[in-house]
A and B are shown apart, each in its own frame.
Chain A
Amino acid sequence: MEIKANIGWTVSEMARKVATDIHDGAYVNLGIGIPEIVASFIPEGREVIYHTENGLLGMGKVAEKGTEDFELVNAGKKYITAIPGAAYFHHADSFAMIRGGHIDICVLGAYQVSEEGDLANWSTGDPNDVPAVGGAMDLVAGVKTIFVITQHATKSGESKIVKKCTYPLTGKNVVSRIYTNLAVIDVTDKGLLVKELAPDISFEYLQQNTDATLFQ
């Protein structure tokens, strides 16, 4: 199983697909890394409020050089800004928003997603790695809808969409939709339903390069 490099959608195109699926008025938490890019692609006319779990609702853009405030950071510890109408709160309140089901959508990266929507995104299980989990397990347990944005395969060409996760889980049966460079895939009761294929990608090609079983 080997997927050609630079095939299908670019990361920006993937992020635009995710952004299109975020409704007006949504409260959204974006994971560290590629998920952060999604904010740049929210269609005009939609108002979305961003939550960052370190205590801010109403996160604005990344701070411009020279205006950074060391006490205003996001979950990835990037210097950011707050929008007018933002609110600060402590960590227990912030995770009450998450665990209490008040956040509508969370967009996360992934090492692996399974046919049943299990997510592995915090540890490869390598004993030489220092394990770190952050807020990922709370987010998948509490946020209403979990979107995953990821390359379809690892850098060494292995499918990240798998029958069963081999890495330690972040949560079981938590992912709603997967956006990869090759396809948009819904996790359903019947399995993984391919909703959209990237240009020049056939269902057969996708299935050949995916460990999990897909259907149309």
Chain B
Amino acid sequence: MINKIVNSSEEAVADIFDGATILISGFGEAGSPIELIHALVDRGNGNLTIVSNNAGSGYVGLAALIENKQVKKIICSFPRTAISVVFPEMYRKGEIELELVPQGTLAERIRAAGAGIPAFFTPASVNTPLAKDKETRVFNGKTYVLEHALNADFSLVKCHAADKYGNLIYNKTARNFGPVMCMAAKTTIVQTKKILEVGQIDPECVVTPGIFVKKVVEVSNPADESVLVAENRRYLWK
């Protein structure tokens, strides 16, 4: 019998190991699985490579994971916002590695991993420092740069509703990287606001089919990162 639902965020992240590569959904706070990230902070795995569009705000969520020195390297497109403090400080001190990737290349590298495509050519970043030392090739008179798939051990994703088969739907622009990240990891772990009965999600409307999902945990009332940041909360102090 297939039932991907687990009882707690702690149980959901229980297989994560030191040195893992982890995809984390979200565009800023929209779609960021803050409870799963906090469960990973509690678990304490180190030496992680994190792939996420941003690098956290304030001292909660992804910023807490970085502040707790669990992250060796971050692969992202935009590691700063007006309210990001932890990453910039550690980056300037040389305490964390950064691989900067154009946002569309980041999304496509993740999608390619999920689709079994090891590498692809893109026009983005040609003639810029981000294409330095990368293989290029001309197609129809235009230059493209070779980019490699971004496979991962785990992905942590937030969605709006899920069923026990792992079918997912999302909410508005919180969808962002979720669907491609679900495809690209060996083990995809999802936090959902709602669990629905099998059959309640219209098959025409399923965004992530359950085959891409391993574990689902219900977090019916997730914390709002921006509220925690505005209140200057720090997860590590709790």
**Interface on A for B, CB 8 Å cutoff?**
52-56, 69-74, 77, 82, 88-92, 94-95, 98-99, 123, 128, 130-138, 141-142, 168-172
B179 contacts the other chain (CB 8 A): yes
B130 touches A133 (CB 8 A): yes
Which of A71, A99, A130, A133 has a CB less than 8 Å from the CB of B30? A71
Interface size of B by CB at 8 A reads 51
CB-CB under 8 A from B177, the residues of chain A are 90-91
**Could you tell me which residues of chain B, from 16 to 65, have a CB within 8 Å of some CB in chain A?**
27-31, 53
**Nearest CB on B from A15, distance (A):** 23
Determine if B79 is an interface residue (Cβ-Cβ < 8 Å). yes
Q: Are B111 and A92 in contact (CB under 8 A)?
A: yes
- The residue from A53, A73, A133 contacting B100, defined by CB atoms under 8 A apart: A133
- How near does chain B come to A170, taking the closest CB pair, in angstroms? 7
**Interface membership of B134, Cβ < 8 A:** no
Could you tell me the distance between the alpha carbons of A70 and B91 in the complex, rounded to whole angstroms?
28
Minimal beta-carbon separation of B10 from chain A (angstroms): 25
Q: Which residues of the partner chain B approach A128 to less than 8 Å between Cβ atoms? A: 92
Tell me the complex Cα distance, A54–B174, Å: 9
Contact B102 A135 (CB under 8 A): yes
Measured in the bound complex, the distance between the Cα atoms of B154 and A125 in whole Å is 34
User: A95 is contacted by which of B27, B81, B107 (Cβ under 8 Å)?
Assistant: B107
Query: Is B200 at the interface (CB under 8 A from chain A)?
Result: no
Interface flag for B171 (CB, 8 Å): yes
Chain A CB within 8 A of B124 CB: yes
A90/B179 contact (C-beta < 8 A), A71-B173, A135-B77, A141-B123 known? yes
Q: A70-B226, A72-B173, A95-B103 are in contact. List 6 more A-B contacts (CB 8 A).
A: A54-B176, A88-B170, A90-B175, A99-B104, A141-B123, A142-B123
B70 CB–A CB distance under 8 Å: no
Residue of B nearest to A77 (CB): B28
A2–B179 CA distance with the chains assembled, in angstroms: 51
A12 to chain B, nearest CB (A): 24
Interface residue from B123, B175, B180 paired with A88 (Cβ < 8 Å): B175
